[in-house]
């Protein structure tokens, strides 16, 4: 049965005296890799997304929110490309009291232009050190999706790498078979060099 542009369709699955064992091996490697792409990539992607989302949400478990006050006015404008401005927020000095009523100060991200004495939320760990705010549920979900997509793509790249290496090995094997076959042909034909 001829297929598109005169090529024989499904030739690797038919009986054929010209079909080599390496053709069958290559076919089964292809079937295994397609199964890997269709099954393993989504499973690994979903599992990675779930673990990453859970890990991001677990960050907030060890943190507690404290209300701090600005020590001085925050700059009114953000400096672009400085690495200190994030979504119209700037770094400013804040103070708060710990559980034992001792005052503490540190720098935190606050909205640009906030006046001294204004309240702002900061996140502390169990040792009283300031930490970045934990991700929201939406941020944790998007982190999970990004990492899950990357893991699924990694499985696809692994499958393609395995296929490429297998093809190289099979092509080398076929090349050596051809060389042996030509050598046998020359020997049986009584080939003489001039």
Per-residue model confidence as pLDDT tens for the chain (194 residues): 455 566 666 666 667 766 778 878 888 898 899 988 899 999 999 999 999 999 988 887 888 888 899 888 887 776 555 554 456 788 888 998 887 888 888 888 888 888 888 999 888 888 788 888 888 889 999 999 999 999 999 999 999 999 899 989 988 988 888 888 888 888 877 655 55
What number of other Cβ atoms are within 10 A of residue 89's Cβ? 17
Is the pTM here over 0.75, yes or no?
Answer: no
Structural fold of domain 64-133: OB fold (Dihydrolipoamide Acetyltransferase, E2P) (2.40.50)
């Amino acid at each position: 049965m001829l297929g598109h542009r005169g090529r024989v369709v499904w030739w690797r699955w038919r009986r054929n005296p010209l079909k080599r064992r390496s053709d069958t091996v290559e076919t089964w490697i292809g079937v295994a890799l397609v199964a890997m792409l269709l099954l393993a990539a989504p499973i690994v992607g979903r599992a990675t997304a779930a673990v990453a989302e859970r890990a991001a949400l677990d960050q907030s478990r060890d943190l507690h929110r404290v209300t701090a006050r600005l020590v001085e006015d925050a700059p009114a404008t953000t400096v672009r490309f400085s690495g200190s401005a994030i979504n119209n927020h700037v770094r400013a000095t804040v103070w708060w009291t710990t559980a034992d009523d001792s005052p503490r100060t540190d720098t935190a991200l606050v909205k640009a232009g906030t006046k001294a004495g204004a309240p702002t939320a900061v996140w502390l760990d169990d040792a009283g050190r300031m930490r970045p705010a934990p991700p929201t549920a939406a941020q944790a979900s998007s982190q999970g999706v990004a990492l899950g997509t990357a893991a699924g793509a990694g499985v696809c790249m692994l499958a393609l790498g395995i296929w490429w290496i297998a093809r190289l090995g099979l092509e080398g094997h076929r090349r050596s078979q051809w060389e042996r076959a030509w050598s046998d042909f020359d020997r049986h034909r009584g080939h003489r060099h001039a």
